[in-house]
Amino acid sequence: MSGKDTVRCKIVEAAKKRFSHFGYGKTTMAEVASDCAMSPGNLYRFFPGKLDIAEAIATEDFEKHLTSLRKLAVAPARDARQRLHDLLFEELRRTYHKLEKDPRAYEMASVIARERPEFANWMLATERKILVELLEEAERRGELSCDDKEYVAEMVQSATMKFRYPQLWSKLTLPALERELEGVLTLLIQGICPQSLAHQRHGRVTTVPA
């Protein structure tokens, strides 16, 4: 996205340090500017505003996250259920730990979510594409089949909403959240009624019971 040592990148780095150390609200444009040895006004030649710097940081972080999700979605050694498990748990743990370790991240997340709802939508839609990839790969391998994968992916996201920004919606601990996610995942894969006890054993899912 942004070249290595461009001015733009310098600004993002400076802001990253300030934001994570003092928080978004307590960081002034003047401080970020002086860290880059420039005047506050000059920042506006590179970013439309303060929020856009925060968005750039969030985007950079999210892109990193995405590549690891993409790997999990099509991992050769794991079956469909395991891959979905890996994906959802990676998501849960990443955001949980991020918000756990510094409450500054929480502040940034809520400011962006409030002021730039379209950004959150973009992230959701991007991750949905990965879910679709997972479903397509599963079909290719004959693990499961469903016709409208975009729709199914959307519903999976809807059902796992609670685990996306965990501490925004509940005060549950990570183990409690993991237990719930495991349960929801099982429901999503198998339905409420375990159709075939044999297949259920190893969580294997087939298109048509043998």
List all residues 6 or more positions away from 94 whose beta carbon is below 8 Å from its beta carbon.
65
Please select the residue that binds DNA; options are 14, 15, 50, 95, rule is CB under 7 A.
50
Q: Which does 210 bind (CB under 5 to 8 A by kind): DNA, a copy of itself, none?
A: none
Q: Does 9 bind DNA (CB under 7 A)?
A: no
Select 93 or 116, whichever has its Cβ closest to DNA. 116
Task: Please check whether residue 1 is in contact with residue 63, taking contact to mean a CB–CB distance below 8 angstroms.
Answer: yes
Alpha-carbon distance of 180 to 167, in angstroms, equals: 14
DSSP assignment of 136-169 equals HHHHHTTS---S-HHHHHHHHHHHTGGGTSHHHH
CA-atom Rg of the chain in angstroms? 21
Tell the smallest beta-carbon distance from residue 28 to DNA (Å).
Answer: 3
- Of 6, 21, 40, 103, which one interacts with DNA (CB under 7 A)? 40
User: Binding to a copy of itself by residue 9, rule CB under 8 A?
Assistant: no
Which residues of this protein are in contact with a copy of itself, per CB under 8 A?
A: 117, 135, 144-146, 151-152, 154-156, 158-162, 169, 171, 180, 183-184, 186-196, 205-209
